[in-house]
Amino acid sequence: MTQEILSAEKREMAENRSDANGSLKTYDDHVPEIKFTKLFINGEFVDSVKGRTLETVDPRNLQVTARVAEGDKEDVDLAVEAARQAFDHGPWPRMPGYQRGRIMSKFAVLIEENIDELAALDTINGGKLFSFSKAMEIPYAVASLRYYAGAADKIHGEVLKMSRDLHGYTLREPIGVVGHIIPWNGPATMFMMKVAPALAAGCTMVVKPAEQTPLSALFYAHLAKKAGVPDGVINVVNGFGPTAGAAISGHMDIDMVSFTGSTEVGRIVMQAAATSNLKQVSLELGGKSPIMVFDDADLDSATDLALTGILVNKGEVCVAGSRVYVQEGIYEEFEKKIVAKAKAWSVGDPFDPNVRQGPQASKEQFEKILSYIEHGKREGATLLTGGAPLGTKGYYIQPTIFTNVTEDNVIVKDEIFGPVMSLMKFKTTEEVIKRANDTRYGLAAGILTKNIDLVNTVSRSIRAGTIWINCYLAFDNDCPFGGYKMSGFGKDYGLDALHKYLHVKSVVTPIYNSPWL
């Protein structure tokens, strides 16, 4: 397809999605009634102690969609008290695992029955593609719930072969009350990534959704109660990080905190946990993931993977492939293809089934991304495409690709969390390994090649928690996920996630007639 045809196609798509004033068209047929706006504590929806509320804003049109209760320290205290009572005296930790699993499976069915409404809530809260949430993200969250429901009755310790005539074994017991602090970029995925394994383990919890995207978390709490999860097991406190989030991180009666978000905030969470009761911490933090494309890679497949790796969910993904290294033998052709595909990428209202990229989740994120784009221009990087807002209303940004950048450039060093790619050329395998590792992050990486020797060499040399070979964003509930370096520690998904919500207790007894008696 020639560049002229692509340009015409892009103009036609923009005209179809814009009004006479240049604003992108909005599709409001699926906008749901907002049913739950309060805090969810001990099985009931309640106002905050101080009666405060916060606004949620639709990033498509900047309209206020709801006012939800704003929780603070006093509300976190009430939620923790409910969770503590449910853990110390309630049935959930004491149920047979299969019974917890049956309730979790019913929870999954209820989510499926309400999937349209849940997907729409994430669209008007966070700008997520309605079709993607309905077809992919929420079904994946349901699959996570079912995965851990199936693991709930398979929590085993070990028999120990001990010396000195001792008999020993270990027990795995729920860790207690867990604080979950979840981000705004994947409300369904992140909620279930944390809640499902903690439920299976027998824990109780206080969940703080991001202040930008609380609506679906409240709906999930409603469905959990309807499924039979006992009161106090799941509590949801909407609020801001410095207040509600800080209260969870430093609470003396929370036994563990699981946080997903920026490295900067993760450090604050860890400090609060250390200076309170030394609670356990799991952190899934930022990323600046490299995708390495070698000379023998299929160009069409490689450009598709690289573009999807940075533009899926409008780049608001912790593992976004924001640094793309292409070997010099195919660099020029790769650049032409990926720029053409980026220009044809459809941006618009996320309720439109033909759109592939919706608005950024918030004004703050929108302005942050644009500031990084301007920084890239000032540093002398070459802008190949994009680099500007789209439309006159809503937080839309064009898919953006820079080249002629180095690892010293801010747009290459910092996590932008938006649709901005840095495209770079390399010569040798040794060079690309060194450059890919030249980052404070270590969450994920992609390797695109047909050479198994390269795959083995590079995958063992990159310091990152997940390596994708000839694929990208290939998550699975059975595959542990977590980072190296300043991308955090602790694993989500897989049995590793279940085990982090369990204490290991050792029990030792002497054998009869042994010297210990």
Assess whether the region 39-285+489-504 and the region 290-481 belong to the same CATH fold: no
Supply the pLDDT for residue 163. 83
- In this structure, the strands spanning 166-174 and 159-161 are antiparallel
Strand, coil or helix: what is 134?
A: helix
Q: Helix 299-311 and helix 331-343: axis angle, to 10°?
A: 50
Dihedral (CA of 272, 220, 58, 187) sign: positive
Question: Which conformational region is residue 248 in: left (phi greater than 0), alpha (psi within -120 to 50 degrees), or beta?
Answer: alpha
Question: What does pTM read for this prediction?
Answer: 0.93
Beta carbons of 327 and 448 less than 8 angstroms apart:
no
Supply the pLDDT for residue 7. 41
Exposed/middle/buried for 293, CB within 10 Å: 0-12, 13-18, 19+?
buried
Q: How far apart are CA 309 and CA 291, in angstroms?
A: 9
**Among 2.60.40.10, 3.40.50.1460, 3.40.605.10, 2.40.50.140, what is the CATH number of 39-285+489-504?**
3.40.605.10
Task: Write out the catalytic residue numbers.
Answer: 284, 318
Supply the pLDDT for residue 11. 40
Q: How far apart are CA 182 and CA 109, in angstroms?
A: 23
Residue 183's contacts (CB-CB under 8 Å, 6 or more residues apart) are 190, 210, 260, 261
Q: How far apart are CA 95 and CA 79, in angstroms?
A: 22
Strand, coil or helix: what is 468?
A: strand
At 221, list the tokens: 């709490």
Beta carbons of 236 and 86 less than 8 angstroms apart:
no
**Residue ranges per domain, the chain?**
39-285+489-504, 290-481
At 234, list the tokens: 């799941």
| Highest CATH level, class, for 290-481 | alpha beta
Q: Count Cβ atoms below 10 Å from residue 275 Cβ, excluding itself.
A: 10
Q: Which residue stretches of the chain have pLDDT < 70?
A: 1-23, 513-517
Supply the pLDDT for residue 12. 41
Supply the pLDDT for residue 105. 98
Q: How far apart are CA 195 and CA 501, in angstroms?
A: 10
Q: Give me the residue label for tokens 């916060």.
A: 54
The secondary element (H helix, E strand) that includes residue 327 is strand 323-327
Beta carbons of 293 and 436 less than 8 angstroms apart:
no
What is the distance in angstroms between the CA of the first residue and the CA of the last residue of the chain? 85
Q: At 165, which amino acid appears?
A: D
Q: How far is CA 135 from CA 139, 141, 309, in A?
A: 7, 11, 18
